[in-house]
Every structure is written in C-alpha cells, then in structure tokens.
Amino acid sequence: MKKAKRIAKVPPYLFAQIDKKREEMKARGVDIINLGIGDPDLPTPAHITSALHQAIDNPRSFGYPPYEGTFAFREAVAFWYHKRFLVDLDPNSEVMALIGSKEGIAHLFFALLDPGDVALIPDPAYPVYQVATILAGGKPHLMPLLEKNGFLPDLKKIPVSVARKAKLMFINYPNNPTGATCEADFLEEAVAFCRKYDILLCSDLAYSEIAFEGYKPLSVLEIPGAKDVAIEFHSLSKTYNCTGYRLGMVVGNREAIAALSIIKTNVDSGAYMALQMAGVAALTGPQGHLKEINGIYQRRRNIMVDGLRDLGYKLLSPKASFYIWPQVPKGYTSAKFVSELLEKTGVLVVPGSGYGKYGEGYFRISITTPEERLREAIGRLARVQI
Ligand SMILES: Cc1ncc(COP(=O)(O)O)c(C=O)c1O
C-alpha cells in the first residue's frame, strides 16, 4: 500500500504502545498497578448519568446534532464560564462544542497552518499538539518547559524571527505531564507576546477543576483583552469523570472558532445530542462532587509525594492536575527506568521522554488509582533496588 508520507513522520501514540506492553505482562499473570494513563477512576456524578439516561429516551436526541453544538449546550458553557471565571461569552459565536477537546485541538492545526508554518509548542507536552502540527504540514518550534523555570516556557528565548513566522502558541496549565501551574503574570505575558506577533494563543484548560488546598487555576480569558488573541479548549472529561463521553468545548476568539468550524463541518458531525443534554446537566447543575474528588486526589497525591520522597526520589508536589512528575534516578534514561520498574515491580508509569525531548530524565505518575493501590505501589518500589 502507498501511504502518505505524513504517516511515517508520526510516532506511534504513546499510550497505545504502553497498553501493548501491559497486556503482555497481564497475560503472564503479573498484577499490574497502572499509574499510566490519566483516566479518572471515580464515577460520573449521578445527576449527570441520570440526565443522560433521560436524554437517550428523548426523541429529539437521536438525530444529527447542530454542527457547532446545541444552543442549550453552548449556553451552558457560557453560564459555567461566567460562574467559574467571570468571563462573558457569546454562545452564538464564542463557544463551540467538541467531540472531546482532543478532537478540537487536533483539528485546529488544520484550520491555522499552511505547510511550513510555525507553531510554538511546549515540550514536554500532551503529544497531540506536536503530532497535529506535523500532520498539518507545520513546523513545531519547541518551547522547553524546564524545572528551573517552574515548567513555564521562557518566551524571551523565542527568536524574533521565529515569533514573526509563528501562527499559534499552545499553553496548558494546570499542566500535563508536569503538574505545574501558572499565575496571571505568565498569562498576561503570553497574551502580550501573542498580540505583538499576531499569534493565536491556545490555552488548554482540561485540568482547571482538579486543584488542591483552595488553589483556583485561571482561564486565559480572565486576562483583559485576551479574547482578541486567544481561544481556550476545555472538556467535561476530567471535571465530571466522563472521559468516555467525548464532550468538550472551545471558547474565546470568534474568528479562530469560525476557522475551526470550517474544518469540523467537513470532517465530523458533532457530539451525540444526548451527551450534550447530559453536558448541560453537568455544567449547570451542582458542582459539589469537586470538593469530594479533589479531597480524594489530594490524599492520593500526598501518599505518592511523601512515599516517593522517603525513597529518595526528587519531585515537586503539584498544586493541581492528577499528575506527579518525579526525576528518574541517576544513571537511567526515562525509558530504561520505566521498563525496569515495570519488569521488576509491575508498577506502570510513563516515561517523560514520551512527552518530548525535554521530558527526558522524568517519569509521569497518574493518581487516578485508589489509595491502597498507591500504597502498594510505594511498597513495591521500596523493595527493589533501581
Ligand atoms: C492536556 C490535555 N488536553 C486535552 C486532553 C483531551 O481530553 P478530552 O479529549 O477527553 O477532552 C487531555 C487528555 O488527557 C490532556 O491531558
């Protein structure tokens, strides 16, 4: 078969490879503790699942949905953004439904980039930003996220010649995979930078509701004037424990949303209407479960952070997200460490290098696993000499 050249440029999706190895070990009878993928183990709140049950029986739910999402869903997104961030959005032009934020993020690159165009991409990062740049024929310019800079990109290090050519920049705080957070001063700097060089600033806020000790992550749209240059991707996946629903949204700059809509109307037909009805229940209903799940994640974070530090691992304790990003022990690459750890202990974590070259030297732990399994993981780590 003669395949497109672009396919050869794309590495296999990180978690597909890890799943394969896990299945092999499981078949050998190994009890795997999976601290790999960030997929909430806690249930979707009952009022949302019951809204979904009702919506499935609703005769208005079975047909093709409106391309941009139902008006009720877009209005619910605007309601939630106002309540949570005091950001006002026009549901008609500044909100669009997505089939999960991954879909919208990947398609955006096709709406913005011509072959050879530059996208400013953080590294390490959610792999979709870089892969979608390549699929769209663009050139990623990597912005290293270094521990010494709090895992924030140093915008001053971007050469002016690159900034002039760049069409978009991605940022993601609370961050996957580092668990880092940012404050208003960074968002202001990013908005000013993108305004100066006429770059679309794309914020990925998938983890905004998973935060500890009262910390409240910010939306880029809280920065005055941000809508002129920015859009934000968000998702119901992590906030409402419903990754499988595939429901997300993009909000902000209307011109960028209209451009993305041209791609989307031609390649997909929108999110199932029953899910959008459940999404309305999620966004406009009680948010009390967040206190509960954040309490659970916080206890899990403490078990892992304290346990790993006691074992001599070096790491920062995240204020938000459900990821921990420790350094691999001296003498190991990320891949070698992760593979030995899995073989010797059955504990599955993700090599930092899977998130980009600046992720080398780290590994990622997801705390979407019950406390007793996390304690067991620490116990197994303690028993082996790495
Ligand atoms: C940083 C980041 N953005 C976006 C997504 C996609 O989430 P979804 O497509 O479920 O909305 C993920 C999923 O893990 C993520 O980690």
Question: Which tokens sit at 239?
Answer: 């906030």
- The string of pLDDT tens digits covering residues 265-297 is 999 999 999 999 999 999 999 999 999 999 999
Report the candidate in 235, 219, 229, 222 with the shortest Cα–Cα distance to residue 253.
229
pLDDT of residue 241: 98
What average pLDDT score do residues 363-375 get?
98
How many Å apart are CA 142 and CA 194, to the nearest integer?
Answer: 16
DSSP 8-class letter at 167: E
| Average pLDDT along the chain | 96
Which of 35-39, 237-241, 297-301, 310-314 comes out lowest in average pLDDT?
35-39
Ligand 1 contact, 237 CB (< 6 A): yes
Ligand 1 contact, 101 CB (< 6 A): yes
- The string of pLDDT tens digits covering residues 53-66 is 999 999 999 999 99
Atom of ligand 1 nearest to the CA of 101: 11
Tally of CA atoms within 13 A in the half-sphere of 190 that contains its CB: 32
pLDDT at 31 over 90: yes
Atom of ligand 1 nearest to the CA of 247: 11
Residue 127 pLDDT grade (very low, low, confident, very high; cuts 50, 70, 90): very high
- The string of pLDDT tens digits covering residues 195-212 is 999 999 999 999 999 999
How many Å apart are CA 198 and CA 178, to the nearest integer?
Answer: 28
Distances (CA, A) of 176 to 24, 32, 345, 362, 369: 27, 23, 25, 13, 17
Pocket test for ligand 1, best of 15, 39, 126, 173 (most atoms within 8 A of CB): 126
pLDDT of residue 237: 98
Ligand 1 contact, 172 CB (< 6 A): yes
pLDDT of residue 22: 83
CB 243 within 8 A of CB 237: yes
User: Of all residues in the chain, what percent carry a pLDDT higher than 70?
Assistant: 99
pLDDT of residue 214: 94
CB 181 within 8 A of CB 188: no
- The string of pLDDT tens digits covering residues 292-309 is 999 999 999 999 999 999
**Which tops the pLDDT comparison, 5 or 101?**
101
pLDDT at 115 over 80: yes
pLDDT at 11 over 80: no
Ligand 1 contact, 176 CB (< 6 A): yes
CB 234 within 8 A of CB 101: yes
